[in-house]
């Protein structure tokens, strides 16, 4: 069985990635399973740069093909903020997800609703032959001023999807895997992963 490293320490992301790749003819391993304790600074100015920084670092550390993503929430009224700084948006040190949601809602108070927004995800796949592959996905919606749902993480409880009349945090994992930005980006990456699997020098044993 070939192995693919899910290159993130974020438990919420890991859960989604493992669910989305379930059933592929490869073993999806997590950093702790291969003995990795690695933190990668997201110093890039684009989603592609940050995703590739993480994928490349985990690939070199493990010798495995590594899949990483960088994602963000982009709010029209805030000219695309928080964007690539979504995970670091609050000015509070060691801010929690709840702190970031509260900070975002406070910034949006002067603007009329609806607060149109979308989630974006860029996936990077780093192979040991130094090739990097990218896929992308978006999920349109809007920000609401109160939290709904207990699933998911990050901004999910205040991200409303009119298509289904629910927030991202109210979706079951199976429903989220049909609609989310990460689901769309990872599903687009599956043909690349399967092609790598077929190459003799592709996914390491």
**Would you name the residues annotated as active-site residues?**
70
SS3 96: coil
End-to-end CA separation in angstroms for the chain: 7
By DSSP bridging, strand 27-29 and strand 3-6 are parallel
Structure tokens at 23: 């059933």
Q: Using N-to-C axis directions, what is the helix angle for 11-21 and 181-198, rounded to 10°?
A: 60
Each as own residue / partner, the long-range contacts of residues 188-192 (CB below 8 Å, 24 or more positions apart, any chain) are 188/123, 188/135, 188/136, 188/137, 189/67, 189/123, 189/125, 189/133, 189/135, 190/21, 190/24, 192/125, 192/133, 192/135
In sign, the C-alpha dihedral spanning 62, 63, 69, 70 is: positive
Under 8 Å CB-to-CB from 11, ≥6 apart: which residues? none
Under 8 Å CB-to-CB from 205, ≥6 apart: which residues? 2, 3
């Amino acid at each position: 069985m070939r192995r693919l490293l899910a290159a993130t320490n974020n438990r919420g992301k890991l859960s989604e990635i493992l669910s989305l790749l379930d059933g592929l003819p490869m073993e999806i391993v997590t950093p702790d399973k291969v003995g990795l304790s690695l933190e990668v600074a997201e110093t890039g100015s684009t989603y592609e740069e940050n995703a590739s920084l993480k994928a490349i670092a985990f690939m070199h550390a493990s010798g495995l093909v590594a899949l990483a993503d960088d994602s963000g929430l982009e709010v029209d009224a805030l000219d695309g903020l928080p964007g690539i700084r979504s995970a670091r948006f609050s000015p509070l040190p060691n801010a929690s997800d709840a702190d970031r949601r509260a900070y975002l809602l406070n910034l949006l108070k002067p603007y009329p609703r609806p607060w149109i927004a979308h989630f974006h995800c860029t996936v990077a796949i780093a192979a040991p032959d130094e090739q990097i592959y990218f896929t992308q996905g978006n999920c349109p919606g809007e920000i609401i001023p109160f939290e709904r749902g207990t699933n998911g993480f990050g901004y999910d409880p205040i991200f409303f999807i009119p298509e289904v009349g629910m927030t991202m945090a109210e979706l079951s994992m199976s429903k989220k895997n049909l609609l989310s930005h990460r689901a769309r980006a990872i599903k687009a990456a599956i043909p690349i992963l399967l092609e790598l699997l077929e190459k003799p020098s592709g996914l390491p044993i």
